[in-house]
Amino acid sequence: MRHHGLRASWIATILATVIAVGTPLVGGAGADPSANTPDRSIDLVRAERPSFTDLDPSLDPKVAGSAADASTDRSDERTTPRRDRAQAQRARAATTHLLVRVPRSMVVRARPDTDAAVVGSMPSGSKYYGVPITAWVEETANHGRWGRVEIPYVWPRHEGWIPLRGLARTTTRVQVHIDLSEHRLTVSKFGHTLFGLPAATGAPVSPTPRGDYFVTDRIPFSSGGSLGTFAFGISGIQPNLPPGWNGGNQLAIHGTNDPSSIGRSASAGCLRVSERGLDRLLPLLKLGTPVIVEA
């Protein structure tokens, strides 16, 4: 999935300009799927409200209340024993992950076959910022001609197959794992843990949805805002926004101007980390990097 919220009218104007002249919305944010630059001098994007899900540092008691008032969708409930999931997680982290650039909107099919049913569409740009999509291919089939991908920004979560012929490819050995019960973010590289960070997760009324996601945005913000100085937008959305929420619904890993919330269930769904944590993530989380969120 950094700072001051983004003025909606400004975004609309910028998007219109982008469509008209074909210029990237955020300078350099999606120029190269293999770019790992920690440079924070990219043009800052500003708006009235954050597009990523987050709450003000002081939670409204009605928002922070019991999850019993939330209409949660349990379709993604994991029933696999925790130990088995941990073993599967380690095995997946030990692989080299294939990433592909999506140059245009692509049909996603139920099977790796041109005659298979259409189950969705893979967008070419990210939900709010128009950054070119670099997708994580979780599996290949038919001698590498098809790739299984998660469809971004849909709920319930859904996956399918896209043809890989002609798509620019790159790889990463980095993977992010979010443990919601521990309020912890762990970064691994080829199966070896590099470091872990405490993180704020979704409040009881707006729990962070579990799933397999990938990084779709690398967005800097000016300091002092609720998103900290940087946000990694990811391919998931929050289906259970807090009452009265009128911002965006895209999930992200970002900073915060309320460090005391880190390590607690306090957000509208996003993951908050410290500024020091952001500095460690910047050179590692390129576009397409897998982000696995589990309980």
**pLDDT tens digits for range 75-127:** 444 445 666 666 666 566 668 999 999 999 999 999 999 999 999 999 999 99
Q: Give the pLDDT of residue 44.
A: 38
Q: Give the pLDDT of residue 46.
A: 37
Average pLDDT score over residue span 271-286: 98
**pLDDT tens digits for range 178-190:** 999 999 999 999 8
**pLDDT tens digits for range 143-168:** 999 999 999 999 999 999 999 999 99
Q: Token digits for 51? A: 């597009």
Q: What is the mean pLDDT of the chain?
A: 80
pLDDT category, 71, cuts 50, 70, 90? very low
* CA pair distance 250, 63, nearest whole angstrom: 18
Q: Give the pLDDT of residue 83.
A: 63
pLDDT category, 211, cuts 50, 70, 90? very high
- Do the beta carbons of residue 14 and residue 47 sit within 8 Å? no
Q: Give the pLDDT of residue 129.
A: 96
pLDDT category, 51, cuts 50, 70, 90? confident
* CA pair distance 72, 175, nearest whole angstrom: 27
Residue 43 neighbours by CB under 8 Å, 6+ apart: 26, 27
Q: Give the pLDDT of residue 276.
A: 97
Bridge partners of 214? 290
- Range name among 23-27, 44-48, 49-53, 265-269 with the lowest pLDDT average: 23-27
With residue 85 as reference, give the H or E element that holds it: helix 82-93
pLDDT of 41 above 60: no
Q: Token digits for 121? A: 């569409």
